[in-house]
């Protein structure tokens, strides 16, 4: 009777949502979402219907009178929720990239619904007993490695999320998960609101001395659009303030904009995130202790390559020491330049180098030491050409082909769509790119699934739909989108994630693509960064946007000579954020937690120098308070050890596109999470990764 009732609810929901494009099977090319037909009023009914459908699918597994088997329990569970995957893949991608107040209101309703659904599945004891039965019989079932992995990971997902808890603790866990989901949404919304509300108008062009004309033109267009023609508008978005930090002679303006950026959501107003952080940490600590862990870090890391916080702390300390020493040497060199400017009357104010001075004097030093001016490079880094360069690397490494598709449904006119095929013409997947900032887009850059890869019960391989999102410079009236060196690396980085998702060959969606341990998932993305400035790659995409001239050899030589320049700063800024993350998640209580005082104590403990601000201060640290990287930001450096070592495998052959090495690395990418990450890496490399490859790349050792 219960099963019939659930199906009746689904039927009524579908009837009420007649012609809802989120529920209809798409008739679009390649089955992509019908973004052009989806309206705000479609989302909530679609979620309600999709959640009801998954509940019915799970109920069918629970009520199956047959003895639990791999197929009728483990595989059946993995195949539930495909409609919800489709609805979520659309909604949450649009929410992050093109959201608005109405979508935020929908999200506030949807997050608890999904949390309740997930808890209802994980904490369903009858379902868990079926999973546990198969798990305990797994060695006798003749499973292949991927099937064995699915059984093990399914069981662990139940055990790690409360299936073995007593009833009272299960109920408490449900409440914690629901509250955490809403706090995460609130945190992210506060950061977006603070970023959008902070506007600094410059009325006197003399204050912009040293700023490149392209940056001034972009700021003038922003000001005009905001109703201030004849002025220049700067915001805490990186594309806006970074050129000021690098080039503007006005020290006070540099300070103003860096402080605007680094104090977001930390102003004792309605968008202040300090109370959100305290509550999140209270709940995370309580959740970890429900499972018998002392702190959230150990609870989270149990399923990662690192396994525990002691391993992560020791790893970070081993890289922190040489990074900090390099940063101190760099700071001394920049201080000398500042002293010269003060002596010459070209700089006013404090005699000590400040965080808002670092980028400016680093750029000066790079020009003096390597005759390399980033503004000289930007004309060669036109966005569409850089993207072609990244595509070209995938073609040479893996044989992939990219075809731009016109007249495809998109959620914003700035989005572009590409068909990705293999060397034999077979479909690999569909790639969306969305590269420009807008009011409804959260800061940063990321890759997501819109639709996952998996093989269905009939043996049909459903190819994925993937999206890359960024916040690069918008074209202006006089120039196309020209990227900085950091932007170029970011584009290659996110494209590496996209390749990981696109080339997936898993049978089961929960193991496909980027469903890997967090300290492994950054390997494919950071590996791609190595190709961004390789001379043989630069010559394929770095063309002057006005003349079409390929980037000169002397500029390529300068880029490569300066490859290790400022790496003390870059690595120290990154590692300090990683250590701060671990310090938060090694807390055993949040009683009396003062967010700003805690940050200060953490930085003092690690010996952070005053001239550098941690990459992400707590109140806008989206990675650890909204996006699931809590106790996981170290993974960028952990994966950097792997990516430096993997790239060394190519260099050792004398060919960055060596076919045999590329074939082995492609195989690693195709496996997704179907096998143990360390096992996969050793199979590719023949040995464990050598950390010295990373230290050499950064110039910390010879």
3-state secondary structure of 674: coil
Neighbours of 102 (CB within 10 A): 11
DSSP symbol at 547 = T
DSSP symbol at 532 = H
Q: How far apart are alpha carbons 537 and 393 in whole angstroms?
A: 7
* Whether the Cβ atoms of residue 84 and residue 53 lie closer than 8 Å to each other: yes
User: Would you call 661 exposed, middle or buried from its count of C-beta atoms within 10 A (0-12, 13-18, 19+)?
Assistant: buried
* Whether the Cβ atoms of residue 619 and residue 236 lie closer than 8 Å to each other: no
Q: How far apart are alpha carbons 348 and 251 in whole angstroms?
A: 8
* Whether the Cβ atoms of residue 477 and residue 432 lie closer than 8 Å to each other: no
Burial state string for 563-588 with b = 16 or more CB within 10 A and e = fewer than 16: eebbbbbbbbbbbbbbbbbbbbbbbe
Q: Which of 473, 471, 443 has its CA nearest to residue 212?
A: 473
The single residue of 48, 53, 96, 494 carrying the catalytic annotation is 494
Tracing tokens 């005009």 back to the chain, one arrives at 224
DSSP code string of 404-467:
EESS---SSTT-EEEEEE-TTS-EEEEEEEE-S--TTSPSS-EEEEEE--EE-TT--EE--EEE
Q: Which of 92, 95, 85, 91 has its CA nearest to residue 117?
A: 85
Q: Which of 429, 537, 525 has its CA nearest to residue 470?
A: 525
Strands 427-434 and 465-469: parallel
| 487 CB-near residues (< 8 Å, 6+ apart) | 381, 386, 470, 472, 473
Which CA distances in Å does 335 have to 329, 368, 459?
10, 15, 64
Strands 200-202 and 454-455: unpaired
Give catalytic status of residue 494 as yes or no: yes
Which CA distances in Å does 452 have to 150, 313, 449, 675?
16, 34, 6, 18
| 489 CB-near residues (< 8 Å, 6+ apart) | 529, 532
| 13 CB-near residues (< 8 Å, 6+ apart) | 45, 48, 49, 52
Strands 454-455 and 446-451: unpaired
What are the residue numbers of the active site?
494
């Amino acid at each position: 009777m219960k099963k019939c009732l659930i199906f009746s609810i689904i039927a009524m929901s579908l009837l009420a949502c007649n012609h809802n494009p989120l529920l209809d099977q798409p008739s679009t090319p390649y089955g992509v979402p019908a973004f052009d037909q989806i309206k705000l009023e479609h989302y909530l009914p679609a979620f309600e219907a999709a959640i009801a459908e998954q509940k019915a699918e799970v109920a069918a597994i629970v009520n199956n009178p047959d003895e639990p088997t791999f197929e009728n329990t483990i595989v059946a569970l993995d195949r539930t929720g495909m409609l919800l995957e489709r609805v979520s893949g659309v909604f949450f991608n649009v929410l992050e990239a093109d959201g608005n107040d109405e979508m935020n209101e929908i999200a506030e309703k949807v997050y608890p619904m999904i949390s309740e659904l997930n808890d209802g599945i994980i904490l369903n004891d009858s379902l868990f007993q079926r999973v546990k039965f198969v798990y305990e019989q797994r060695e006798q079932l003749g499973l292949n490695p991927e099937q064995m992995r699915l059984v093990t990971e399914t069981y662990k997902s139940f055990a790690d999320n409360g299936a073995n808890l007593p009833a009272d603790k299960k109920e408490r866990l449900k409440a914690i998960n629901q509250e955490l989901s809403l706090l995460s949404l609130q945190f992210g919304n506060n950061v977006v609101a603070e970023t959008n509300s902070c506007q600094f108008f410059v009325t006197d062009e003399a204050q912009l001395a040293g700023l490149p004309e392209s940056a001034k033109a972009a700021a003038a267009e922003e000001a005009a659009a905001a109703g201030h023609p004849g002025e220049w508008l700067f915001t805490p978005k990186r594309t806006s303030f970074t050129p000021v930090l690098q080039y503007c002679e006005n020290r006070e303006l540099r300070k103003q904009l860096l402080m605007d950026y680094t104090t977001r959501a930390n102003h004792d107003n309605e968008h202040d995130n300090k109370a959100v952080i305290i509550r999140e940490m209270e709940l995370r600590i309580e959740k970890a202790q429900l499972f018998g862990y002392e702190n959230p870090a150990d609870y989270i890391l149990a399923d990662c390559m690192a396994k525990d916080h002691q391993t992560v702390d020791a790893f970070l300390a081993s890289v922190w020491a040489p990074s900090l020493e390099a940063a101190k040497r760099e700071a001394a060199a920049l201080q000398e330049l500042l002293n010269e400017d003060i002596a010459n009357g070209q700089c006013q104010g404090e005699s000590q180098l400040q965080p808002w001075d670092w980028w400016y004097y680093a750029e000066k030093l790079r020009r003096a030491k390597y005759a390399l001016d980033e503004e000289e490079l930007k004309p060669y880094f036109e966005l569409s050409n850089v993207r072609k360069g990244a595509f070209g690397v995938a073609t040479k490494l893996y044989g992939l082909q990219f075809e731009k598709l016109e007249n495809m449904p998109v959620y914003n006119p700035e989005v572009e769509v590409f068909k990705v095929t293999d060397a034999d013409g077979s479909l690999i997947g569909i790639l969306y790119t969305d590269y420009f900032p807008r009011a409804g887009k959260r800061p940063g850059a990321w890759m997501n699934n819109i639709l996952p890869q998996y093989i269905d019960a009939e043996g049909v391989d459903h190819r994925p739909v993937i999206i890359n999102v960024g916040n690069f410079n918008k074209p202006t009236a006089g120039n196309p989108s020209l990227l900085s060196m950091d932007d170029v690396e970011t584009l290659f980085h996110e494209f590496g994630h996209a390749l990981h998702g696109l080339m997936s060959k898993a049978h089961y969606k929960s193991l496909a693509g980027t469903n890997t341990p967090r300290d492994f998932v950054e390997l494919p993305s950071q590996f791609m960064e190595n190709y961004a400035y390789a001379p043989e790659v630069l010559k394929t995409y770095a063309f002057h946007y006005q003349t079409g001239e390929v980037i000169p050899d002397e500029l390529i030589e300068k880029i490569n000579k300066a490859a290790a320049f400022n790496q003390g700063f870059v690595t120290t800024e990154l590692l300090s954020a990683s250590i701060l993350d671990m310090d938060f998640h090694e807390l055993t209580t949040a009683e009396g937690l003062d967010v700003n005082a805690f940050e200060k104590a953490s930085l003092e403990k690690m010996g952070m120098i005053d001239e550098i601000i941690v990459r992400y201060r707590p109140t806008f640290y989206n990675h650890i308070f909204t996006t699931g990287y809590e106790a996981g930001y170290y993974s960028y450096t952990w994966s950097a050890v792997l990516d430096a070592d993997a790239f060394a495998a190519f260099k050792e052959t004398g060919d960055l596109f060596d076919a045999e090495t590329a074939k082995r690395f492609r195989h690693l990418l195709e496996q997704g999470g179907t096998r143990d990450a360390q096992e996969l890496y050793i199979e590719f490399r023949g040995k464990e990764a050598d950390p010295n490859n990373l230290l050499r790349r950064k110039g910390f050792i010879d």
